[in-house]
Each structure stands twice: as C-alpha cells, then as structure tokens.
A and B are shown apart, each in its own frame.
Chain A
Amino acid sequence: DSGVTQTPKHLITATGQRVTLRCSPRSGDLSVYWYQQSLDQGLQFLIQYYNGEERAKGNILERFSAQQFPDLHSELNLSSLELGDSALYFCASSVELLRSLSTGELFFGEGSRLTVL
C-alpha cells in the first residue's frame, strides 16, 4: 500500500460527458502528479501541483483540468470525453521537505480506469 488513494477505481461513461477523478496523497506529501496510461502504453505526464499551486504541465488537453485543495487532495476533471480518453489515470505524490532531503521517489496510487463508450 503506497498510501496514495484514488477514487473511483473504475468508471464507465459516454462520449461528451464529464468526470472527476480524485486523489489523496500520502500524509505529509505536498506534491501531486497526474499521469495518463493508455492501453499498453507508457505513462504520460499530465500535470503537477505543489501545495495548491500548479507546478508543471505536460501533455494535458484543454478539455482536462486539475486542482489541488487546501487539504492537499487533488481532482482531475475530464470534460467533453472522447473514446480516446479511455485510459488508466494515475496519481502520484512525493515528499518535498527540503531540497537536500528529496529522494526523487514518487508513490503511485492504484489508478482510476476510465472507459468512454
């Protein structure tokens, strides 16, 4: 158990709909990362938040948005869904106490599997 919680684990919806994926990072972790894994593909970085603020952005579509709340949980919003958005969406968190203490390790949740029909 990595300590990172993602909900829902599975989600089936129709094209054009909007969904929200939720992530609770490990206790004490300030950074949250979102990754997308399409079928049999590697993980593509979407976006990172640090202590409530957007830190880095990857290949995230304009239809997708995210935020991190004061309690540090994060939500990924996917709208106007298309068939190609079907994927496993991972959240990860990391410890960032001080630069010198960073281990570079990310802790992943179990993912949310989104199926768009």
Chain B
Amino acid sequence: AQTVTQSQPEMSVQEAETVTLSCTYDTSENNYYLFWYKQPPSRQMILVIRQEAYKQQNATENRFSVNFQKAAKSFSLKISDSQLGDTAMYFCAFMKFYDFGNEKLTFGTGTRLTIIP
C-alpha cells in the first residue's frame, strides 16, 4: 500500500514571498503520478500540478513548481510570488500509473497555507 506524508500541518508566509511545501511518499511502484491539489475555503478540490514519475524534468505551472526526487521519494511544491488567493489547504497525492482497476488517489493529511498581506 502507498502512503503519503505531509509533515507541515500549517505554514504562513508574507505576500510575494516564496514558500515550499513538503511531501514524502512510500511506494514499491516504479511508475506513478504525483499531484498537488489545492482546497480553498470554498472546499473545491483544484489540481495545482501533476508529475509523472518516469519524467526526470520537474513540472512547472506558472508560479507553481515541484522538486521531484524519485530516489528520496520526495515531492515538494514551491509557490513563487505568493498571492492572497493562494491561501488554502494543499494536499499531496499519489496514484499508480494507470493500474486498471485501482486508479484511486492516496492523499496526505494536508498543509494549511496562509498568505499574509
């Protein structure tokens, strides 16, 4: 079974600063997906960024980027030039690489991020 660990329950940072959220996972799989989802106060789950484990290049989406260390089973999220709208819970999640019959996401417990004006 896979496990996802987020060791930072809460973080806060000043607006416009950079913040990094940590995530580690445990799996015996070689191919898989990793995700960061954002959950703002509205409770909607929003996909922030996705990384395929077979890709060595770190994924980037505008101000969001990841540091994917496969050997260390680490998948951190960096938010640059943080904005007030980034205030949310952030969940790290794992999915086996299209395992027909088992495409569920395994989530970490989340990090509550607050951007301070």
Contact = CB atoms under 8 A, between A and B. Distances in A.
Interface of A: 2, 31, 33, 40-45, 48, 55-56, 58, 88, 90, 92, 94, 96, 99, 102-106, 108, 110-111, 113
B33 interface: yes
Given A43-B91, A55-B101, A56-B101, A105 B107 contact: no
Interface string B77-96: 00000000000000100010
Contacts of B110: 40-42
B44 interface: yes
A58 B104 contact: yes
A17 to B, nearest CB: 23
A41 B109 contact: yes
A88 B104 contact: no
A1 to B, nearest CB: 9
A102 B52 CA distance: 12
B98 A48 contact: no
A31 B108 CA distance: 22
Binding site secondary structure of chain B: loop
Nearest to A108: B45
B105 A43 contact: yes
A99 B101 CA distance: 11
Nearest to B9: A40
B104 A33 contact: yes
Interface in B26-47: 33, 35, 42-47
B20 interface: no
Nearest to B34: A104
22 contacts: A2-B44, A31-B103, A33-B103, A41-B109, A42-B91, A42-B108, A45-B105, A45-B106, A55-B102, A56-B101, A56-B102, A56-B104, A90-B45, A92-B105, A94-B103, A99-B98, A102-B98, A104-B97, A106-B105, A110-B44, A111-B43, A111-B44
